[in-house]
Amino acid sequence: MSTTSDKALGGRRAQAARNDEVILEAARAVFLDDPKAPIAAVAERAGVGISALYRRYAGKEDLLRQLCHDGLRRYVAEAEAALAESDDWSAFTGFLARVVDADVHSLTVHLAGAFTPTEEMGRDAMRAGELARALVDRAHASGRLRADVVVPDLGLLLEACAAVRVPDPERTRQLRRRQLAILLAGLSAVPDADPLPGPPPAAGEFDWRWRRRE
């Protein structure tokens, strides 16, 4: 049987979870506008005291790391769900659409180099790469993806969609989906298509962005 203290503890945990969600949403909005904004701006936007924020995050770096890791976990989850689908091309395009809708990549360029990644993030990043490769391999096997598309091309595609942003969130979503459709048309295999120009992006070519900047 639950006691009054148990209920109080559960209530405090629920409130802490709500505060954390509000803080992360506020942090995402604040740092998308200005990656150099102080952590106090996050507390102000979230409508919580600075002490409530510091109880959850020791500092700005911890908050930035959490935001990026959450995005990475979402990417992994969407990729795993896509690989469970039977149609290889639909799995590939559906994965990209869901990641674009989730706005996973908006913070990548903004926050890269602003914190030191953890070992867990490194493992999740490797897992994300493995899943992306599996999706690309399946899309190639379907005959729908042009043969000269490589896994790192996906990151550039997703960043291009994330760069589309207008004040209205719904209009942003519409424009990103439109841009994704245009880019997917370019990725689709077409008989006698000219090869893509230049050497393809290499694995790890953009890792320099994640080196900690002082």
**Structure confidence by residue, pLDDT tens digits, 13-24:** 677 677 788 999
Write out the two tokens for 188.
């689709």
Closest C-alpha to 161, from 139, 138, 184 = 184
pTM of the model: 0.84
Kindly report, residue by residue over 138-181, the tens digit of the pLDDT.
999 999 999 999 999 999 999 999 999 888 989 999 999 999 99
Task: Look at residue 11 in the predicted model and tell me its pLDDT.
Answer: 65
Mean pLDDT, 10 residues at a time, over the chain (214 residues)?
55 72 91 87 92 88 90 94 97 96 83 85 93 97 95 93 90 95 92 83 78 68
Amino acid 127: pLDDT: 96
* Distances from the Cα of 170 to the Cα of 21, 71, 101, 105, 128, angstroms: 21, 20, 10, 17, 28
What is residue 209's DSSP assignment? G
- Residue 58 DSSP code: S
Half-sphere exposure for 156 (CA within 13 Å, toward CB): 14
pLDDT of residue 201: 85
Cα distances from 214 to residues 34, 115, 131, 199, in angstroms, run 17, 9, 32, 32
pLDDT given at position 107: 77
